A and B are shown apart, each in its own frame.
Chain A
Amino acid sequence: MSTENTPRRPSLAAKAALVEQLETQAGDVGRLYERPTSQWRLAARRFRERRSGMIGLGIVATLLLVALFAPVIAPYEPTEILIGKEDVTRRSPPCVHVLGCSEDQPQHILGVDGNVRDVFSRIVYGSRVSLRLGFFTVTLALVVGTTLGAIAGYRGGWLDNGIMRIMDVVLGFPALLLAIAIVAVLGPGLTNALIAIAIVTLPQYARVVRSQVLALKESDYVAASKALGSSGARVLFRRIIPNALTPLVVLATLGIATAILEAAGLSFLGLGAQPPTPEWGAMLAEERNQVFTSPHLVFFPGLAIMITVLGFNLMGDGLRDALDPTLNA
């Protein structure tokens, strides 16, 4: 029956037809692949086919735009106290004109906080703090962790043992507890929170890189490179690390989410961002006693954290699927 033969996904059939047409036109299958495709390009193609990953990418891209254009988007300065400037009171609820809030009231779409500051503006500016912190933390952990892991895996022996046992010790503590301890030593503040979170997450990167290096250094192409006369550094940086990069990309993306979450946690405890910095965790902490009287003051910063973490996690999962087709989870 012809209906049985009708493909369920017409887009695939259309693609197949197009390929066939191109093949016959070219008369040579090889010509279809005239443009060399690197592994990264193939991965990008696979990534585009996953919906959740693309949603994650959309969220992250939106966040980046918000952070970049914060002064344009936010109607107020994030630290601007509105007493005496506008007719508003502390912790007044959201007022959105199109939703029926009277036109003579100043519009604060997410309400006003306990210090009479516009919550929307603070959340918009908060994206700058969180994203910057996420990127810097992960970059720091990635660079140091990769270096340590690569040295441990490539050199082996006592150096490997030494580095990895230290990593095991770090990994042995609950992450937030250790971060609190580090901040307690360094003193509270955003930069110190960043360093603390980087130290806490560093062993993950070191471990992944080490295991990759251990596997790859036995490969034939590394042997071939050595036989040609490559130095140890050349083998490591030209042959091993580029091939160890895929799991790192995934780990780093997911790591940004973790870092943002932990930073929010530290700020909530008063050890990260200090007032009046518009940090989402700190915003939660400031108004935590008003959960029942003014729920919007904790709801919106919490939502911002959730969406950000979700975005990075979705993107990370999509990247994992795209970069490692064998994992198919």
Chain B
Amino acid sequence: MDEPLVRVRGLVKRFPVKGGLLQRTVAHVDAVAGVDLDIPRGQTVGLVGESGCGKTTLGRMLVRLLEPTAGTIRFDGTDVTRLAGKDLLAFRRRAQIIFQDPFGSLDPRAQVGEQIAEGLQIHGIGDRDERRQRVGEMLELVGLKRDHAGRYPHEFSGGQRQRIGIARALILRPDFVVADEPVSALDVSVQAQVLNLLRDLQSELDLTVLFVAHNLSVVEHVADTVAVMYLGRIVEITDRDTLYRRPLHPYTEALLSAIPIPDPDRPRNRRILQGEIPSPLDPPAGCHFHPRCPIAEQGRCDVDRPELLPAPGVPTHLVACHLRTDRAATV
């Protein structure tokens, strides 16, 4: 295989924390604290984690809505981390984003057709009639009607709005789409429809997708590879089947055990995590997860931060845990 479409190395996003009378910067938060991630062409990488772990920040950096503090993003072989002007515009045509909130992501004062056509207009594609034609095709592609173009967002349901958001993101025929929790705000019955739509569109348009979610069962449905994030870092990443069958990181185990299983007779051995997610303002020393970890070893996990390393014997399975990489090694 050649280079993955998106290659992220050491990506950091540091936000200043302002306080006091003069709004001075009193501290920093590393929302994303050094992430390496490859997204292969045509695949869907799922990114899961608790709220506040930095997954949305990471997604927004990948489409250059947020400026990375450090690290590099390579897109199709070129470094796009610091692009500006014309080059950035060209990149924007190829990388798009779908938002979580179907109510906040559409301009309430503009007709949906105008909003979908905005990308074409910005990039100077087609004349008025051609654009209208493309918008109509796009609306049909996402399961709406052509004449919906003249309506306003408040006339649509949440699921329909999300379809409009998808149409807006895909009208430029991008190669790469960040789907930032595209179904979390929707009813369960509508979630399935939108997920299926996304999956169909992905194969039809040959998309590469970063699918951000906090719902593991949703990710299982769409992703080829799954990355688990905790407090700004990726703690485990492997292909979907391995992750769901043989998770290595204790945090992943806890997340998986929290998925409800619709079988009343099945014995439940849920592993309930103690405590809250620690404040990223003052992350714990050593392994970020050790204060909540059921198997943490004193004198090691609270001192040494584990690197994301391949589990021995399974080079595609990366995990950031001293004990699990050890155990796998000794077995």
Interface residue ranges, A against B (CB under 8 Å): 33, 36-39, 219-221, 223-230, 234, 238-239, 242-243
Please tell me if the beta carbons of A221 and B118 are within 8 angstroms of each other in the complex: no
Please tell me if the beta carbons of B150 and A36 are within 8 angstroms of each other in the complex: yes
Interface residue from A39, A219, A228 paired with B154 (Cβ < 8 Å): A39
A220 contacts across to B, CB distance below 8 A: 99-101, 104-105
* A228-B108 contact, Cβ under 8 Å, with A37-B152, A39-B152: no
**Can you list 20 A-B pairs with a CB-CB distance of less than 8 A?**
A37-B155, A38-B111, A39-B108, A219-B104, A220-B100, A220-B101, A221-B105, A223-B65, A223-B99, A224-B99, A225-B118, A227-B169, A228-B96, A229-B89, A229-B122, A230-B122, A238-B110, A242-B107, A243-B107, A243-B109
* A228-B155 contact, Cβ under 8 Å, with A221-B104, A242-B110, A243-B109: no
**A226–B168 CA distance with the chains assembled, in angstroms:** 12
User: Count the A-B residue pairs with Cβ separation under 8 angstroms: how many?
Assistant: 75
Would you list the 9 A-B pairs with minimal beta carbon distance, nearest first? A220-B105, A229-B92, A36-B151, A228-B119, A220-B104, A221-B107, A220-B99, A229-B122, A242-B109
**A230–B93 CA distance with the chains assembled, in angstroms:** 11
Chain A proximity of B286: nearest CB distance (Å): 35
* Residues 275-330 of B contacting A (Cβ, < 8 Å): none
Is B106 positioned at the interface, with any CB of A under 8 Å from its CB? yes
Q: Mark B106-131, 1 if CB is under 8 A from A, else 0.
A: 11111100010011001100000000
**A274–B169 CA distance with the chains assembled, in angstroms:** 61
Label chain A's interface by main secondary structure.
helix
Q: Which residue of B lies closest to A226 (CB)?
A: B65
Interface residue from B99, B101, B172 paired with A228 (Cβ < 8 Å): B172
**A239–B108 CA distance with the chains assembled, in angstroms:** 9
Is B5 positioned at the interface, with any CB of A under 8 Å from its CB? no
A33 contacts across to B, CB distance below 8 A: 155
Please tell me if the beta carbons of B109 and A38 are within 8 angstroms of each other in the complex: yes
**A220–B109 CA distance with the chains assembled, in angstroms:** 14
* Residues 150-165 of B contacting A (Cβ, < 8 Å): 150-152, 154-155, 165
**A228–B97 CA distance with the chains assembled, in angstroms:** 9
Chain A proximity of B110: nearest CB distance (Å): 7
Interface residue from B92, B111, B118 paired with A36 (Cβ < 8 Å): B111
Q: Which residue of A lies closest to B99 (CB)?
A: A220
B122 contacts across to A, CB distance below 8 A: 228-230, 234
Chain A proximity of B271: nearest CB distance (Å): 35
Please tell me if the beta carbons of A243 and B168 are within 8 angstroms of each other in the complex: no
* A228-B104 contact, Cβ under 8 Å, with A38-B109, A243-B109: no
**A230–B123 CA distance with the chains assembled, in angstroms:** 9
**A36–B122 CA distance with the chains assembled, in angstroms:** 25
Q: Which residue of A lies closest to B123 (CB)?
A: A229
Chain A proximity of B13: nearest CB distance (Å): 15
A225 contacts across to B, CB distance below 8 A: 107, 118
Chain A proximity of B140: nearest CB distance (Å): 17
**A225–B119 CA distance with the chains assembled, in angstroms:** 8
Please tell me if the beta carbons of A227 and B63 are within 8 angstroms of each other in the complex: yes
Chain A proximity of B171: nearest CB distance (Å): 9
A243 contacts across to B, CB distance below 8 A: 107-109
Q: Which residue of A lies closest to B93 (CB)?
A: A229
Please tell me if the beta carbons of B152 and A36 are within 8 angstroms of each other in the complex: yes
> Which of A33, A221, A234, A242 has the most CB atoms of chain B within a 10 A radius of its CB?
A221
**A225–B123 CA distance with the chains assembled, in angstroms:** 12
B99 contacts across to A, CB distance below 8 A: 220, 223-224
Q: Which residue of A lies closest to B149 (CB)?
A: A36
Q: Which residue of B lies closest to A234 (CB)?
A: B122
B92 contacts across to A, CB distance below 8 A: 227-229
Q: Which residue of B lies closest to A218 (CB)?
A: B104
* Residues 55-111 of B contacting A (Cβ, < 8 Å): 60, 63-65, 88-89, 92-93, 95-97, 99-101, 104-111
**A184–B104 CA distance with the chains assembled, in angstroms:** 49
Q: Which residue of B lies closest to A243 (CB)?
A: B109
**A196–B17 CA distance with the chains assembled, in angstroms:** 42
Q: Which residue of B lies closest to A223 (CB)?
A: B65
Please tell me if the beta carbons of A239 and B65 are within 8 angstroms of each other in the complex: no
B65 contacts across to A, CB distance below 8 A: 223, 226-227
> Which of B101, B115, B165 has the most CB atoms of chain A within a 10 A radius of its CB?
B115
Q: Mark B234-266, 1 if CB is under 8 A from A, else 0.
A: 000000000000000000000000000000000
A221 contacts across to B, CB distance below 8 A: 104-107, 115
B168 contacts across to A, CB distance below 8 A: 224, 228
**A113–B276 CA distance with the chains assembled, in angstroms:** 81
Chain B proximity of A71: nearest CB distance (Å): 41
**A140–B293 CA distance with the chains assembled, in angstroms:** 64
* A224-B155 contact, Cβ under 8 Å, with A36-B150, A229-B122, A243-B109: no
Please tell me if the beta carbons of A227 and B97 are within 8 angstroms of each other in the complex: yes
Please tell me if the beta carbons of B105 and A229 are within 8 angstroms of each other in the complex: no
A219 contacts across to B, CB distance below 8 A: 104
* A39-B109 contact, Cβ under 8 Å, with A224-B168, A227-B65: yes
B96 contacts across to A, CB distance below 8 A: 227-228
Chain A proximity of B55: nearest CB distance (Å): 16
